[in-house]
Amino acid sequence: MLDLRSLLADACHAKVMAGRNWFGHPPIVLVGEPGFGRGALAHRIADLAGVPLVAAAGAETEATAEDVGLRTMNVPVPILAMTLTRCANPIVLLDLADRDLTPLASRRLAEMLDHTRTGRWLHEGLRCVFDLSHVSWIVQASRRSPTIAAIEAVGGRVIHVAAQTDVREDLRRLSTAQEVARRGGRSTTEPHLVGDILAELQRRFLRDSPSGRSLWDYAVAFADERGVGA
């Protein structure tokens, strides 16, 4: 998964450039059907980074959002994660399943994921200020939703986890993505561009084996829509 690999590589590079010795990454949203390894990917990232992972359900975030509005003592998921693990930079794996959060819960969640604003995050119920800026979030969902759009708005990156296909089919789609990315003299070593095109081909042709022309035309249309012309 080139797009996921690139995101994590950029996060590691940013850590080095900032002189930090602890791991963190922007919010990641893994979209795909259950059983395709979204949770396994999250645990693999935590293992490689050497940080604890705490799993939570979307309903817990929804309940917390309701309680915050009522000034009760319900503790938000990231604060619980830091307390349980005794770690300031854990990974929180939030499972939205196939449901969307309420508008209030979506707004509260986006606030907790916005690293530019959570260095001093006030919880009114606990009457305390917390630093949530080093907590890494991985959200898994079955489909796009207004909640995911809210996460994207604060810098979250959506990555589609597709069903595994025949290796030859994977290579054919990768080759198409590279050729489209090469248009206009661009280098196929641009992982973000190739990864985005490949992820879109995997999403669009989830269970199909389209013709080469169909792959090419769809990839070109997708690249042009993103402003990557020839």
User: How much is the pLDDT for 72?
Assistant: 39
- What is the CATH number assigned to the segment(s) 2-160? 3.40.50.300
Element housing 80 (H / E): helix 77-85
Task: Walk along the chain (230 residues) in steps of 10 and give the mean pLDDT of each run.
Answer: 83 87 91 80 89 85 54 71 92 86 86 87 82 92 89 91 70 88 66 85 83 90 73
C-alpha span between 150 and 153 (Å, rounded): 5
User: How much is the pLDDT for 65?
Assistant: 55
With 0.75 as the threshold, say if the pTM is over it: no
User: How much is the pLDDT for 165?
Assistant: 54
DSSP string, 47-60: HHHT--EEEEEHHH
Q: Give, as one character, the DSSP assignment of residue 34.
A: T
User: How much is the pLDDT for 61?
Assistant: 66
